[in-house]
A and B are shown apart, each in its own frame.
Chain A
Amino acid sequence: MRALGRWLVAGIVLLLGRGRRPARVDRGERIVPPGPPSPGAELVVLALFGATAACALAFIVVYAVESIPHQTQFLGLSLGLAFAFLAAALVVVGNRLVVTEELEEGYPPPAHPSEQESLEQLVAESGDRMTRKRLLLLGGGAAGAALGAALVAPALSLGPAFEIAPFFRTPWRRGVRLVDDRGRPLRADEILEETFYTAYPEGADREQLGAPLVVVRLQPAELHLPAGRDGWAPDGIVAYSKICTHAACAVALYRKPTFPDVEPRPALVCPCHYSTFDPARGGKVLFGPAGRPLPQLPLEVRSGGELRAGGNFSGPVGPSWWGVRNRGAR
């Protein structure tokens, strides 16, 4: 740990010393007229850079602390102020610290190495007024780094990068009863055709990704479930995770034909991006951006007629990301 600290200090020192070049050879004639140094303006710029960095850090803090009231408004305020301070700093640099001159004509485009040199001289001389150039650069760098960190910070909300095991854990085990939104157990004979039901695991947290189910009854003859799912659909009742495998919206639409001879087949549809799943074929994707089928939950009906889970889902529930196919529900 200490060695690491030393390396860090050494790196910073090297970085700061890197730009220490020998003083520029005086070419005699200046292109840009000399301007007076203005340490006051430099202080203002430094202060503005500092304010930028402070506001950007405030954004990160507000983002991280969820208990702050009116969080969204404060996020907007801090980020907006950071940009405003940065803009003000650059305005002051442009107006007070860079030598400006009025030109009748534009500079000719550089065509020869000598002109290239004069252009470099021009740029160098324009910065002549700055007495504490490195400090200013450091201030600007700090402001930029803080702003960059503020803009990247929300990416942490995309999900845990390392602790992903809880995503694959579901409350469904063999024998867990299906209950409706009022906590009443669902009976197999109450499940009608041509409509759909939302079910939850009895006694478990409903906010979990793996909790909600969508349950429909189909004609047993219509079912063509994938191999290995025999007996998963007692009396044609099938249950799938209600969470879309694309972006985790609730699969809240059920499309059922009034006259199956000529109308589209029954399908579970996600209202967000119209991912369409076939409940008769193991949740296969019929249309839309979803990349894998809806996970199916095996069902069983024991004496008493209540619907119970026959095990865990056929695959991982919830939205998809890299590697999700290689795992199973736990």
Chain B
Amino acid sequence: MRRLLAVAVLALAVPGAAAAQQGNTILFANGKSLFAANCLTCHGIDGRGVSGRGPRLTTVGALGADFYLRTGYMPLASPRDQPTRRHSLFSPRKIDSLVAYVASLGKGPAVPKPHPERGSLPVGLRLFTESCAGCHQVVAEGGYVTGARVPPLHDATPVQIAEAVRLGPYLMPRFPKTQISDGELDSIIAYVVHSKHPDDPGGWAIGHIGPVPEGLVAWLLAGAALVGACAVIGRRIES
């Protein structure tokens, strides 16, 4: 603790780049203790992984840590659970510390910086339909794949979408740059952001779950109306 204080004092004293570096050291130190308290049982010492409990973290980099922590996927109550989005247990500052620490464990990718404003919506729709909609549904409402629930993407931020595409969390395949370039990724993100508020032509959207369920609902309602009409006609003839 005293050393930490000393580092902090030093950080205040030295201006410029040196200060930033010292700040990182503090982050790293905080991250290490947070990791020991919250992550070590499953991910092992220095993130080397524990068989049957949790994977190695030496190659996930800042990208992996940032995604899993900011979405609330980690920490997980049981290693067998599917991670789901929830409010993170850690404050943003603590997440910064943990990300800095995990990034230091090995050579991994940095947190991506997507530019959805440069993307094109129609291109994004096409790419999303080709690569993502099979699981995530065409307006990103989520769905199912055998063995897992596919999350909706309402709450995903552009950075998180970029991270998920490169990372492939849980059962999702990852898409390296040879499959989806950074430019294409920008378009996909632009489309996902747009899909949170799709252009509704009006009427009952039924959660945008697609034309087939919409048709089923229409058949169900129309069928009930027809049965009702038949009953009314029958009663009139009877009386």
**Chain A residues with a Cβ under 8 A of chain B:** 190, 192, 194-197, 252-259, 261-264, 267, 269, 271, 274, 276, 286-288
Task: Tell me the chain B residues, 46-91 only, with Cβ under 8 Å from chain A.
Answer: 51-55, 79-80
CB–CB A255/B146 < 8 A: yes
Q: Which residue of A lies closest to B169 (CB)?
A: A258
Closest 5 CB pairs of A and B: A264-B147, A271-B134, A259-B55, A276-B146, A254-B173
14 interchain pairs, CB-CB under 8 A: A192-B178, A194-B168, A253-B134, A253-B145, A255-B146, A256-B172, A259-B54, A262-B52, A262-B80, A264-B171, A267-B146, A269-B146, A274-B146, A276-B147
Cβ–Cβ < 8 Å partners of A267 in chain B: 146-147
The distance from the CB of B186 to the nearest CB of chain A, in whole angstroms, is: 19
Flag whether B239 is at the interface (Cβ < 8 A).
Answer: no
Cβ–Cβ < 8 Å partners of B135 in chain A: 253, 271
Flag whether B115 is at the interface (Cβ < 8 A).
Answer: no
Task: Tell me the chain B residues, 152-180 only, with Cβ under 8 Å from chain A.
Answer: 168-176, 178-179
CB–CB A255/B80 < 8 A: no
Cβ–Cβ < 8 Å partners of B145 in chain A: 253, 255, 269, 274
Distance in angstroms between the alpha carbons of A276 and B148 in the assembled complex:
13
From A197, A252, A258, A276, name the one whose CB has the most chain B CB atoms within 10 angstroms.
A258
Cβ–Cβ < 8 Å partners of B144 in chain A: 274
Cβ–Cβ < 8 Å partners of B51 in chain A: 261
CB–CB B147/A255 < 8 A: yes
CB–CB A263/B170 < 8 A: yes
Give the interface SS of chain A, mostly helix, strand, loop or mixed: loop
The distance from the CB of A212 to the nearest CB of chain B, in whole angstroms, is: 13
The distance from the CB of A91 to the nearest CB of chain B, in whole angstroms, is: 16
Asked whether A257 and B54 contact (CB < 8 A) given A192-B176, A195-B179, A267-B146, the answer is: no
Task: Tell me the chain B residues, 125-161 only, with Cβ under 8 Å from chain A.
Answer: 134-135, 144-148
A262: which of B79, B134, B172, B176 is its contact (CB, 8 Å)? B79
Cβ–Cβ < 8 Å partners of B172 in chain A: 256
CB–CB A263/B175 < 8 A: no
Distance in angstroms between the alpha carbons of A261 and B50 in the assembled complex:
10
Distance in angstroms between the alpha carbons of A8 and B147 in the assembled complex:
61
The distance from the CB of A151 to the nearest CB of chain B, in whole angstroms, is: 20
The distance from the CB of B170 to the nearest CB of chain A, in whole angstroms, is: 5
Distance in angstroms between the alpha carbons of A68 and B172 in the assembled complex:
44
CB–CB A196/B173 < 8 A: yes
CB–CB B168/A195 < 8 A: yes
Distance in angstroms between the alpha carbons of A252 and B136 in the assembled complex:
12
Cβ–Cβ < 8 Å partners of B175 in chain A: 195
Q: Which residue of A lies closest to B68 (CB)?
A: A258
The distance from the CB of A132 to the nearest CB of chain B, in whole angstroms, is: 32
Cβ–Cβ < 8 Å partners of A276 in chain B: 146-147
B172-197 interface bits toward A, Cβ cutoff 8 Å, 1 = contact, 0 = none: 11111011000000000000000000
Distance in angstroms between the alpha carbons of A271 and B145 in the assembled complex:
8
CB–CB B134/A252 < 8 A: yes
Cβ–Cβ < 8 Å partners of A288 in chain B: 146
The distance from the CB of A200 to the nearest CB of chain B, in whole angstroms, is: 15
Q: Which residue of A lies closest to B144 (CB)?
A: A274
Apart from the given pairs A255-B147, A264-B147, A264-B171, 7 other A-B contacts in the complex at a CB distance below 8 Å: A192-B178, A257-B171, A258-B169, A263-B170, A264-B148, A274-B144, A276-B147
The distance from the CB of A72 to the nearest CB of chain B, in whole angstroms, is: 15
Q: Which residue of B lies closest to A259 (CB)?
A: B55
Distance in angstroms between the alpha carbons of A258 and B55 in the assembled complex:
8
A286: which of B52, B134, B146, B171 is its contact (CB, 8 Å)? B146
Cβ–Cβ < 8 Å partners of B176 in chain A: 192, 195
B168: which of A190, A197, A253, A258 is its contact (CB, 8 Å)? A258
Cβ–Cβ < 8 Å partners of A286 in chain B: 146
Cβ–Cβ < 8 Å partners of A269 in chain B: 145-146
